[in-house]
Chain A
Amino acid sequence: MTDMTVDNAPVQGQSRSLWATAMLRLRRNKAAMASIFVLIILALAGIFGPMLAPHSYSKVYPEFVKVKPSLESYPQEEQVIPAAESALRRARVDLGAIDVDDGKVRIEVSSESRDIDPRISRYLDRSSVFSDAEITIDPADPKKGVIEASVQQLYFLMGTDANGRDLFSRILISLRISLMIGALATAVALTIGVIYGATAGFIGGRVDNVMMRFVDVMYSLPFVFFVILLVVFFGRNLVLMFLAVGAVEWLDMARITRGQTLSLRRREFVQAAEALGVSGKSIIRRHIIPNTAGTVIIYMTLLIPKVILLESFLSFLGLGVQEPLTSLGVLISEGAKNMRNAPFMLFYPAATMTILLFALNFLGDGLRDALDPKDR
């Protein structure tokens, strides 16, 4: 591995610190820079998107199940009259002419036996197609009246799912969940892996042998199956998911940190600290862990997509995030079930997932090239 130092000292003259050089190399890497840009947009969309989206991710529009993605507003013109008819079916009145005009609907109602009950306008309000329904009863004949209501302008840019929920809003919230799990589970894996690896590498000898043998044994286990076991037996909640996924992915991190630590162990500044009588724990905290930072960052960016993938995999099988919350895996799984009549339900989540994973992988590769040029 390369000699890497965290350069806190002021830079003298023309020399550049490792981090400055790395930044320079990273800036030249177009794919990596584009990935950073895409990731920032996706992260912002995940954080603020669900607040700004016109629909809530859990709001159900029973009238609009699996509608196609479109830039035009729903309901479409030919849907308004049937919607009004079905909304007023239970009002037990005869419907006269229905006029649709410029976002407004005007319905003549009449009844043969009874006076018109002004409360029937609520039937229209209850439907998600109409709002602000007002009824005017003919002063001359209480058996006749006119209802006026405004027609909703609902936009479903990416269509709606099998329950009539806006797919775009659901993709936004699933981005948030997937990114959150990616970040938190990676943090768990990072913490366990770095501490474990640094300890094994620092103590060395027999302890190191035993600790790394343990990692080898863990490597040979079919771990995904264990995660599924864990999720099945202890219920499906988000915290457990972080822990389970994090607990699986720490192995690589432990191996890498151990390797780094072994080489750092022989460096003069660590030996100096030892000679000064600094305790082992402090040396690990003050010298070893900060000096492994570069490598750890590289593997972290490569770990995040793995974690997101694992979570989505669990969700795809129905073992992950539960309704009404959602994640990209859940959406892809629903899309796969409905692809015969609503292929867009598969397409949009799958495309989002692909873009996210591509960006993370390109950034990881770019960082590796930038921080560790020998490894190219």
Chain B
Amino acid sequence: MLSYALRRLLSAIPTLFIIVTAAFFMMRLAPGGPFDQERTLEATVMANLNATFGLDKPLWQQYGIYLSNLFQGDMGPSFIYRDKRVHEILAEGLPISIQLGATALILALLLGALLGSIAALRQNTKTDFAVIAVATFGITVPNFVVAPVLSLVFAVILSWLPAQGWGQWNQMLLPVIALALPQIAVVTRLIRGSMIEALRSDHVRTARAYGLPTHMVVGKHALRAAILPAISYLGPAAAALLTGSIVVEQVFNLPGIGRYFVIGALNRDYTLVMGTVVIVAVFVVVFNLIVDLLYAVLDPRVRYD
């Protein structure tokens, strides 16, 4: 187990290296630069600017400098937030995005497990069909439709909840729901499918035969087997939540990293965009590793050696 974790950790390093390299060279091969959009600058000013940001050195040297800085946790200066380093900006945004994403993920797992189990227990009844219909809706309707509509209904028309801002619990409610909704739908479908199978399995039948009450049978024995597909979905879910948070942070005007990514992208702030991609990539890779290990803990049939 430990050696497997170590091996996975080691194999993550080349992946991250590829990401950083690809992003760096894509950025530098692209026509145009971060100072193009401002008024045409004098040649000397331009040269000075380039020298300040180290853009006058040969490409491979810039790459080396970026890598060594990155290794020390420095992601370079931001081009639009002139007085800040990129890692400082991201350090401000990351807690918000993580809080948002983690809450949405937990909500998706809990609600998904609950709804999926209910649907499976009442298979082919009206309850089941209703849950399936809601889940299909949740999967089909994209984040960028759900988020503005939620904001329209609950913040503008009913004015029950604030439309933007961050800090209080009621400001968190709408973004979390908008972010979690598609994931709730996917988890519900997964759990329903695996729960139906689990309810028919031998160990659940045995538990029933012992006369255990239904909630014990379902909650303790069936759910443990049924939750596995949902666990292996957590990796893609984390990636989807990160992507979704770009939209949700935009709609609800939250200062998370998704928002900085969009601002950076629209303003061609190379270092900011690069920094976000690196952070997100690290996050996804590490999360995938955790999920794999978690899988081994939860399912005694899986052995890594």
Which residues of A come within 8 Å of B, CB atoms? 217, 220-222, 224-226, 228-230, 232-235, 305, 309, 312-313, 316-319, 329, 332-333, 335-336, 339-340, 343, 346, 350, 353-354, 357-358, 361
Contact = CB atoms under 8 A, between A and B. Distances in A.
B144 interface: yes
A317 B141 contact: no
A336 B265 contact: no
B268 interface: yes
A357 B136 contact: no
Nearest to B238: A222
A174 to B, nearest CB: 14
Contacts of B23: 226, 229
A335 B148 contact: yes
A243 to B, nearest CB: 13
Given A235-B31, A332-B148, A336-B251, 7 more contacts: A229-B26, A233-B29, A313-B144, A336-B148, A343-B156, A350-B145, A354-B140
B68 interface: no
The CB with the most chain B CB atoms within 10 A, among A229, A309, A319, A346, is that of A229
Nearest to A365: B136
A317 B250 contact: yes
B27 A229 contact: yes
Contact of A350 (B26, B139, B149): B149
Q: Which 8 A-B pairs have the closest CB atoms?
A: A233-B30, A336-B148, A232-B265, A316-B144, A222-B280, A339-B152, A224-B243, A350-B145
A357 B142 contact: yes
Interface string B15-49: 10011001100110111100000000000000000
B221 to A, nearest CB: 26
Interface string B118-162: 000000000000000000100111111101110110001000000
A353 B250 contact: no
Contacts of A340: 156
Interface in B265-295: 265-266, 268, 273, 276-277, 280-281, 284-285, 288
Contacts of A346: 148-149, 152
A309 B280 contact: no
B266 A318 contact: yes
A232 B284 contact: no
B278 to A, nearest CB: 10
Nearest to A313: B144
Given A232-B265, A233-B27, A217 B15 contact: yes
22 contacts: A217-B15, A221-B19, A221-B281, A222-B243, A222-B277, A222-B281, A225-B280, A229-B26, A232-B266, A233-B27, A233-B30, A313-B243, A317-B247, A332-B144, A332-B145, A335-B148, A339-B148, A339-B156, A340-B156, A354-B140, A357-B140, A358-B140
Given A222-B277, A313-B142, A228 B247 contact: no
Nearest to B30: A233
Given A225-B276, A329-B144, A220 B251 contact: no
B145 A229 contact: no
B266 A225 contact: no
A220 B243 CA distance: 14
Nearest to A343: B152
B128 to A, nearest CB: 16
Contacts of B247: 313, 316-317
A221 B284 contact: yes
B181 interface: no
A339 B145 CA distance: 12
B149 A226 contact: no
Given A224-B243, A225-B277, A339-B152, A353 B145 contact: yes
Contact of B151 (A221, A316, A339): A339
Contacts of B262: 317-318
Interface in B238-264: 239, 242-243, 246-247, 250-251, 261-262
The CB with the most chain B CB atoms within 10 A, among A233, A339, A354, is that of A233
Given A233-B27, A316-B247, A357-B140, A220 B288 contact: yes
A374 to B, nearest CB: 15
A354 B26 contact: no
Contacts of A220: 15, 284-285, 288
Contacts of A361: 136, 139-140
B265 A228 contact: yes
A35 B75 CA distance: 49
Contacts of A336: 144, 147-148, 151, 251
A49 B18 CA distance: 46
Contacts of B273: 228-229, 232
A171 B30 CA distance: 33
Contacts of B284: 220-222
Contacts of A217: 15, 18
A343 B153 CA distance: 10
B142 A312 contact: yes
A312 B136 contact: no
A357 B30 CA distance: 34
Nearest to A231: B265
Contacts of B265: 228-229, 232, 317, 319
A190 B250 CA distance: 32
A151 B26 CA distance: 56
